[in-house]
Structure 1
Amino acid sequence: MTPEIADTGLWALLIGPLTEFGFMRRALVGCVALSLSCAPVGVFLLLRRMSLTGDAMAHAILPGAAIGYLLSGLSLTAMTLGGVAAGLLVAVGSGLVARSTVLREDASLAAFYLLSLALGVLIVSTRGSSVDLLHVLFGTVLALNDAALTLLVGIALASMAALALLYRPLVLECLDPQFLRSVSRWSALAHYGFLVLVVINLVAGFHALGTLMAVGIMVLPAATARLWVRSVPALMALAAGLALAACVAGLLISYHADWPTSPTIVLNLGAVYLVSLIVGRHGAWRMGQHGRQRHLRA
């Protein structure tokens, strides 16, 4: 095989689909936006031990988006506003339940999550078709239009600006929320501002990857990065890079293998996570080696 043929084959395999087709270019831009916003937000979800909260809130946006769909069809604006409203309602409602009853916040979130998921699926399935239901649950990353891309890029820019503004109070809240409340007025703003960031990024992920997969691009890159690095800036940078790499690989694999794109992207993230669990700098094998060495020194 000549170098020219090899180069041509490699180009057709890795680069060609992303440059030749408009829907692949739009999907790539959408994935870049999601990677730069969702993954860094996921780092703070991980550090605040709220990863499962993110999953519950991802499903909580479904009834709001479904009501928007019921009123206006597959309208980007209606489904976005409905999803944001539902997510914020569940976030605030679960907090109020935890403060006014004996239930803890995780229990109230689980209850709201189950109700929201069931209500959203019921609305979409009774008022729409199976295609509409699949669109809502698994997203349409390969069918992003200009309006959807504008929304994703806008949310990414707003998220990065908000993270830059709230970076110090968010880090302090992860370390010692009581201390932050005692010394700074930023505590409430950091807490509720972060919840807003989680909701709008889940809505962005919902439009591209669907409600069942949106939290994957938020939690899995952060968890994987945690197995390699320790500092918060490094975690945010590595999580965004891992998310982008998995998205690009997922786009290419789904194109060549004719697989659904959203699950393929999340499975790529999951594969990297599983490998990192074993060979990561802070994974099982390295930690086991460190433990044996420490035992031998003792």
Structure 2
Amino acid sequence: MNGGDIGDALFGGAADYGAILALVSNSVWAGAVLGLVGGLIGVFVMQRDMAFAVHGISELSFAGAALALLIGLDVVMGSIVGSLIAAAAIGVLGARARDRNSVIGVLMPFGLGLGILFLSLYDGRSANRFSLLTGQIVSVQSGDLGWLIGIGAVVMVALLLIWRPLRFDSLDPQSAAARGVPIRWISLGFMLLLGLVVAVAVHIIGALLVMALVVTPAAAAMRIASGPVGVPVLAAVFGVASAVGGILLAIAGTLPVSPYITTISFLIYLVCRVVGSRRSRSRSRSVRAA
């Protein structure tokens, strides 16, 4: 192959990539919004030790989406209804940490079983069934993007409104209750916001992989940052980088998008964990030397 052939091949590849990128621009925006909102709300998920709740909500969201698919209704709306039911149940029945895990443990197999039942009764395209488990971010339509942006905006505004009392309750619930913070309502409101985020994430990345954009970015950020600003900002950056980076890599290859997103998110966490561990050891040596 001569220089002209190589140049044509490279230019043709770049042109093809640009054309594909233009076709999936909705997916890129969806990934950015989902990464941003998921990273921010994930900080409170980690502070409240509720990573397990994300998976529990996703199972009921999956069941709601599967039922909507079976009876011909909007899948996003079915996912939202399922998520909100699960979030409300966890928020009300699992108000105490001791009860929360048992409630989630009961809801998870129930939701997964219902979802599998509804999908087994569905006789449409198998791709539609599979996408509920692993997502369909590369085929996000304008209507889906509108839902995502709208829900993301609602969650962002609500988080900003309750940010201070929610952070107080997440870090020190006993003191928050003593100061008169309505922790029960704050907790329920947070669960409903989490339910909305999970519902959209299930539709985009799938019920099995939600935690990659709601838990992992925040867990990574908390390894290398601290303070009320540093952790949320880093978590949002990591979430956007994982989602958008995964999409950009996926459209250049032949693999589904979900493995790229989860791998990038996991690698970010590993790097942050190593950096955080080295910092801790360095501080320990400094303290001993002093």
Q: When the two structures are superposed, what TM-score results if normalisation uses the length of structure 1? A: 0.85
Question: Which residue of the partner structure matches residue 79 of structure 1?
Answer: 75
Give the gaps of 5 or more residues in structure 2.
none
Contact 1:18/1:25, CA 8 A, preserved across alignment: no
For residue 95 of structure 1, report the CA deviation from its aligned partner: 5.0
Counterpart secondary structure, 1:204: helix
* Structure-2 separation of matches of 1:9 and 1:188: 59
Pair 1:29–1:18, CA change in 2 (3 A): farther
* Structure-1 separation of matches of 2:90 and 2:158: 24
For residue 199 of structure 1, report the CA deviation from its aligned partner: 0.5
* Structure-1 separation of matches of 2:43 and 2:19: 31
Contact 1:58/1:214, CA 8 A, preserved across alignment: yes
For residue 86 of structure 1, report the CA deviation from its aligned partner: 2.1
Pair 1:106–1:139, CA change in 2 (3 A): same
Structure 2 matches for 1:59-208, cutoff 5 A? 59-72=59-72, 75=73, 78-94=74-90, 97-98=93-94, 104-128=99-123, 129-184=125-180, 186-208=182-204
* Structure-2 separation of matches of 1:227 and 1:9: 40
Pair 1:235–1:99, CA change in 2 (3 A): closer
Pair 1:63–1:17, CA change in 2 (3 A): same
Question: Which residue of the partner structure matches residue 279 of structure 2?
Answer: 286
Q: CA RMSD in A?
A: 2.8
Pair 1:71–1:257, CA change in 2 (3 A): same
Give the gaps of 5 or more residues in structure 1.
none
Pair 1:10–1:180, CA change in 2 (3 A): farther
* Structure-1 separation of matches of 2:215 and 2:12: 32
* Structure-2 separation of matches of 1:169 and 1:10: 54
Contact 2:151/2:197, CA 8 A, preserved across alignment: yes
For residues 239-295 of structure 1, the C-alpha deviation after alignment (integer angstroms, 9 at most, x for no partner) is 11111122222112212221110221111100111121112xxx2222223223333
* Structure-1 separation of matches of 2:251 and 2:95: 48
Q: What amino acid is aligned across from residue 69 of structure 1 in structure 2? A: L
Pair 1:244–1:91, CA change in 2 (3 A): closer
Contact 1:173/1:180, CA 8 A, preserved across alignment: yes
Percent of residue pairs bearing the same amino acid type: 24
For residue 19 of structure 1, report the CA deviation from its aligned partner: 6.3
Pair 1:144–1:262, CA change in 2 (3 A): same
Q: What amino acid is aligned across from residue 71 of structure 1 in structure 2? A: I
Counterpart secondary structure, 2:252: helix
Question: Which residue of the partner structure matches residue 273 of structure 2?
Answer: 277
* Structure-2 separation of matches of 1:90 and 1:242: 27
Question: Which residue of the partner structure matches residue 54 of structure 2?
Answer: 54
Matched residue pairs, number?
Answer: 285
* Structure-2 separation of matches of 1:207 and 1:247: 14
Contact 1:138/1:262, CA 8 A, preserved across alignment: yes
Question: Which residue of the partner structure matches residue 225 of structure 1?
Answer: 221
Deviation larger for 169-178 or 183-192 = 183-192
* Structure-2 separation of matches of 1:228 and 1:9: 39
Contact 2:220/2:268, CA 8 A, preserved across alignment: yes
Pair 1:170–1:98, CA change in 2 (3 A): closer
Contact 2:46/2:218, CA 8 A, preserved across alignment: yes
* Structure-1 separation of matches of 2:58 and 2:277: 30
Pair 1:96–1:27, CA change in 2 (3 A): closer
